Amino acid sequence: MNHVGIFKGVFLPGAFMYYTIQSNLLAVIFFGVLVVRSVKGLREGSRGNVGWYPRLGMVVAIDLLLTLLVFWVLLMPRGLSISYLLSFDNIAVHTVTPLLCVLDYVLFSQPRSLKYRDVYYTSIFPVLYVIVTSIAGLLGYVYRYTGGAGSNTEGSVPVRFPYFFIDFDVLGIMALAYIGVIVVFFVILGHVIYYIDQKVRKPRAEKSVPTRKSLPT
């Protein structure tokens, strides 16, 4: 919430153009759905199953894992301040939330519930993000200004892309190489998760918990 200015008394809609914010919002929506489904399950007397929507959970976990990896591997070495790296705002969205999503999938999802096509579903959100933000940048959307005395002043340079590795103004066609490597890495990671789900994890035995209607009188 602080990244979009809510706690500062302002609203910064441009923050929603960043993958970090969108992926964390995706996690909030997904876990909101899980809470609603879990409450409904408890009311219906279903107490054995806590791993709702495991296939979607895997997609969300990997998409959030991208947030963590890209930040700490690609963005952190580019001179970010120590104060920002250690701030709650940064750690919450770039580390804690992704790890919690992965932990939730590992601990609570039902093993061997994935389908092979889920491997490629993990790439849909990141690829759509790159396409939309690239089109926005090529059409003139400006994320920020560098140099000069501030926003849109003499000597300032508009930055039309959210991250350096998809900045076509700076990298040109080489930005496609960065994008291609990230997509390939995602597909490989999806295959690894799929293999672990199918070959390593063992299905948990279903526990039948008697409901009030089934208790002996």
114 vs 44, more confident: 114
Categorize the per-residue pLDDT at 156 as very low, low, confident or very high, splitting at 50, 70 and 90: confident
Query: Beta-carbon neighbour count of residue 112 at 10 Å?
Result: 12
Judged against a pLDDT cut of 80, whether residue 46 lies above it is answered with: no
Q: Let me know: does 5 contact 12? Beta carbons within 8 Å.
A: yes
Query: Beta-carbon neighbour count of residue 158 at 10 Å?
Result: 15
Categorize the per-residue pLDDT at 168 as very low, low, confident or very high, splitting at 50, 70 and 90: very high
Judged against a pLDDT cut of 90, whether residue 95 lies above it is answered with: yes
Categorize the per-residue pLDDT at 214 as very low, low, confident or very high, splitting at 50, 70 and 90: very low
List Cβ neighbours of 36 (8 Å cut-off, separation of 6 or more).
Answer: none
Can you give the residue ranges of every domain in the chain? 2-204
Helix (H) or strand (E) holding 41: helix 19-43
Q: Rounded CA gap, 69 and 29, in Å?
A: 22
125 vs 47, more confident: 125
Average pLDDT for 44-66:
80
Q: What is the pLDDT of residue 11?
A: 46
The residue behind tokens 């947030």 is 67
The residue behind tokens 């990997």 is 62
Q: What is the pLDDT of residue 155?
A: 59
Judged against a pLDDT cut of 80, whether residue 65 lies above it is answered with: yes
Token duo for residue 102:
């992965």
**Helix/strand/coil for 80:** coil
User: For 55, how many CA atoms within 13 A lie in the half-sphere containing its CB?
Assistant: 9
Dihedrals phi, psi of 175, to nearest 5 degrees = -60, -30
* Model pTM score: 0.80
| Segment 196-208, tens digit of pLDDT | 888 877 665 555 4
List Cβ neighbours of 68 (8 Å cut-off, separation of 6 or more).
Answer: 94, 95, 98, 99
Q: Let me know: does 156 contact 149? Beta carbons within 8 Å.
A: yes
